């Protein structure tokens, strides 16, 4: 496992505060392997005529997919850890293994507390209004009816869905649904919170509110894992990044050290690079337009000179 070594960092404005190096351990992942066992039916060749009668259905074959391969790391109390990687890297599998939802084929996961995977999908019903789903989600998280009533208004305000809280969830956009799920699941403090792609569809204002809430959870001595493809979300909310690729840990360190390398590896387009490319494209277009204009002016001048020369010859 590659670990990015860096000197102690101080808190920056608008950035998460660093976690003390001597903070208590909350999660220990030791040589974790997770294997999916699948039964796959091989494709058959198309049969014609009477040969179709003789064709037998192929026998399914067992296949093993090694989703996590020898992952090891520790997480301390108060840390907010971003987990990044391309699709299929094993991020969600790792979260489910830490939460105890997937058994390891090899290795162990030790937790000081109960890891909770963000997600109340099993308790939400799309045909019911958002208000009823808030009640069901909070009850599923173990709150009493009195606690549900106390947190209701805060969840509606935080999610920003407004009057749509009285509409069925099937009428919500993907962003509205994601914000409501995050608001419900993050309203209850947890010792170890695992957030999988919950911030992917939020706008800038929601990302800011989410970062503030995650910082508040960290201040309450929680350990947080955030899986996201949004590097801005990771930078705003996390003080550490684990980079997964093909079930392996590629790097583990501070976001300022890992994210630029990750973006360069996969050719990702950051906001700054997009602005730079647009400026270069605009300058290039302006230069081409100016060059075309100069060339046209030169052509017009040559034509006028030729016409004047002919006129002089005719006069003679």
**Average pLDDT, integer, range 55-59:** 69
290-314 tens-digit pLDDT = 766 666 666 666 656 676 677 666 6
Looking at the predicted structure, is the pLDDT value of residue 146 above 90? yes
What pLDDT is attached to residue 228?
85
What pLDDT is attached to residue 184?
87
User: Which tops the pLDDT comparison, 228 or 2?
Assistant: 228
What pLDDT is attached to residue 93?
93
What pLDDT is attached to residue 259?
92
What pLDDT is attached to residue 17?
66
What pLDDT is attached to residue 281?
76
**Average pLDDT, integer, range 218-238:** 81
Looking at the predicted structure, is the pLDDT value of residue 110 above 90? yes
Q: For 201-217, b where at least 16 C-beta lie within 10 A, e where not — what string?
A: bbeeebbebbbebbbeb
What pLDDT is attached to residue 91?
93
**Average pLDDT, integer, range 116-142:** 81
Greatest mean pLDDT among 41-50, 119-128, 194-203, 245-254 lies in: 245-254
Looking at the predicted structure, is the pLDDT value of residue 245 above 70? yes
What pLDDT is attached to residue 222?
72
Looking at the predicted structure, is the pLDDT value of residue 173 above 80? yes
Residue 24 CA to residue 22 CA, distance in Å, equals: 6
21-56 tens-digit pLDDT = 788 899 999 999 999 988 887 776 665 555 555 556
């Amino acid at each position: 496992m590659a670990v990015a070594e860096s000197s102690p960092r101080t808190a920056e404005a608008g950035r998460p505060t660093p976690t003390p190096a001597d903070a208590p351990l909350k999660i220990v992942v030791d040589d974790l392997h997770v294997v999916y066992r699948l039964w796959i039916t091989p494709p058959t060749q198309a049969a014609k005529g009477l040969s179709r009668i003789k064709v037998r259905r192929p026998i399914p074959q067992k296949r093993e997919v090694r989703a996590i391969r020898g992952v090891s790391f520790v997480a301390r109390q108060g840390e907010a850890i971003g987990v990044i990687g391309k699709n299929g890297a094993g991020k969600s599998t790792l979260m489910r293994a830490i939460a105890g939802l997937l058994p390891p084929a090899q290795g162990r996961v030790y937790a000081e507390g109960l890891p909770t995977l963000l997600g109340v999908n099993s308790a939400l019903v799309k045909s019911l209004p958002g208000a009823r789903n808030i009640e069901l989600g909070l009850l599923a998280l173990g709150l009493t009816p009195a606690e549900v009533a106390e947190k209701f208004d805060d969840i509606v305000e935080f999610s920003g869905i407004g009057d749509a809280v009285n509409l069925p969830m099937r009428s919500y956009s993907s962003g509205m649904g994601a914000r409501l799920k995050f608001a419900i699941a993050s309203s209850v403090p947890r010792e170890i919170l695992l957030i999988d792609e919950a911030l992917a569809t939020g706008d800038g204002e929601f990302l800011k509110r989410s970062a503030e809430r995650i910082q508040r959870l960290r201040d309450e001595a929680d350990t947080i894992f955030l899986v996201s493809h949004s590097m801005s979300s990771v930078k705003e909310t996390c003080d550490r990044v684990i980079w997964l690729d093909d079930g392996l840990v590629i790097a583990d360190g501070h976001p300022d050290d890992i994210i630029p390398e990750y973006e360069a590896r996969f050719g990702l387009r950051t906001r700054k690079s997009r602005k730079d490319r647009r400026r270069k494209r605009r300058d290039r277009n302006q230069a081409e337009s100016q060059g075309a204009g100069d060339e046209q002016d030169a052509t017009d001048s040559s034509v006028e000179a030729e016409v004047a020369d002919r006129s002089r010859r005719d006069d003679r």
